[in-house]
Amino acid sequence: MKKQICILLIALALLGSAGSCARQSAKPLEADNFVLGTIVTQTIYGNAAQQVADDVWTELNRLEALLTVNASGGDANLLNARAGQGLVPMEFDTLQVLESARKISALSQGRALDITVGPLVKAWGIGTDHAQVPSAQLIRELLPLVNYQDVRIDRDQASAELTQAGQMVDLGGIAKGYAGDVVRDIYRQHGLTSAFINIGGNVVTLGARPDGNPWHIGIQNPRSETGEIVGYVSVVNQAVVTSGDYQRYFFAENGQRYCHIIDPTTGYPAESGLMSVTVITESSTDADGLSKAFILGLEGGRELLRSYGQAEGVFITTDKKIYVTPGLRGDFHFEDASHAYTYIQEG
């Protein structure tokens, strides 16, 4: 059996009155669409909001065609098809994503985010109609193809390559984050100062709410079937991104549950003692990549955020305890209607 909960984070409906902001319209435009393989919602305050929303949809569709392996003519597929054959011309956006992924990968020496995990993702097929448990032999054969350092980027030639034949990138661990940063740039180019987008759970905020108060972004209860939250974070001009074991998973014939997040060091779905990790930082791209701290467990994940700097996190363990990083304590609000979780306030 396969289950998918599309909404990872819930934006709480606490927008309030916007009358104090002369440059923004009092009532926001609420717009939604299906792009990048997920439901995307926008909340836009300002004049010409519909035109802004339309520009965002156009850009997100362009990025989807460029970066997803489901787009036959895109850069991701071109890079995979030419693996081991030398440099391949790439668009600016693709090079940006590849460079950002390498930067985040280096922080954990490839133990968390590694976009070359593509062959393993394909072998498991989690989130598709063909989810399966690959043989141990196949996993052993594919593991040598996973090495983020084999992604070579040549900015002078606007090109990149995978150095080994058979390698595949899967940009699903960072592409939505990059798209969020691109959208925020579009908002700014239109002169907006207050807007919000949720790309299937990757939330990006521009500024504060029009009344000057922060946005309140809910963090989902990882075991709720109805999208209940365990709390929310207050943010201004930041991205909030979650990775968790509840987003896509399947049950094998033996009854074992496997989530879609593949550990690049073992070739198997991550078993880290965590149910979810939420990362809060200014860059949506980096927040998306850093959320793969899920693979490292509580202590390893916190260390990854410390090594990055200027990023905060919420960690929910499999024994239903919630830990937050020190800089977030004043902005995390524990509200667990299920009464199943314990908020551990350390130090």
pLDDT tens for 315-325 read 999 999 999 99
User: Which pLDDT score, from 0 to 100, does residue 26 have?
Assistant: 66
pLDDT in tens, 32-51: 999 999 999 999 999 899 99
Helix (H, G, I), strand (E, B) or coil at 258: strand
Query: What is the DSSP secondary structure assignment for residue 22, as one 8-state letter?
Result: T
Clarify whether residues 316 and 204 are in a common domain. Answer: yes
* Structural domain harbouring 109: 66-173
Q: What is the pTM of this model?
A: 0.91
Clarify whether residues 220 and 247 are in a common domain. Answer: yes
Domain total of the chain: 2
Task: Please provide the size of the chain in residues.
Answer: 347
Counting as low any pLDDT under 50, the low residues of the chain are: 1-25
Clarify whether residues 23 and 137 are in a common domain. Answer: no
User: Which pLDDT score, from 0 to 100, does residue 72 have?
Assistant: 80
User: Which pLDDT score, from 0 to 100, does residue 227 have?
Assistant: 85
Clarify whether residues 150 and 258 are in a common domain. Answer: no
- Is 304 in contact with 312 (CB distance < 8 Å)? no
Last residue of a domain, one of 145, 173, 201: 173
Clarify whether residues 255 and 334 are in a common domain. Answer: yes
Clarify whether residues 195 and 334 are in a common domain. Answer: yes
User: Which pLDDT score, from 0 to 100, does residue 19 have?
Assistant: 35
Clarify whether residues 303 and 197 are in a common domain. Answer: yes
Residue 181 lies in a domain: no
Clarify whether residues 232 and 134 are in a common domain. Answer: no
Clarify whether residues 210 and 333 are in a common domain. Answer: yes
User: Which pLDDT score, from 0 to 100, does residue 55 have?
Assistant: 98
Clarify whether residues 196 and 318 are in a common domain. Answer: yes
Give me the sheet containing 29-35, strands edge to edge: 29-35, 38-44, 195-199, 202-206, 239-244, 274-281, 312-317, 321-324, 342-343
State how beta strands 342-343 and 321-324 pair: parallel
Name the phi and psi angles at 315, rounded to 5.
Answer: -115, 125
User: Which pLDDT score, from 0 to 100, does residue 41 have?
Assistant: 97
User: Which pLDDT score, from 0 to 100, does residue 13 have?
Assistant: 35
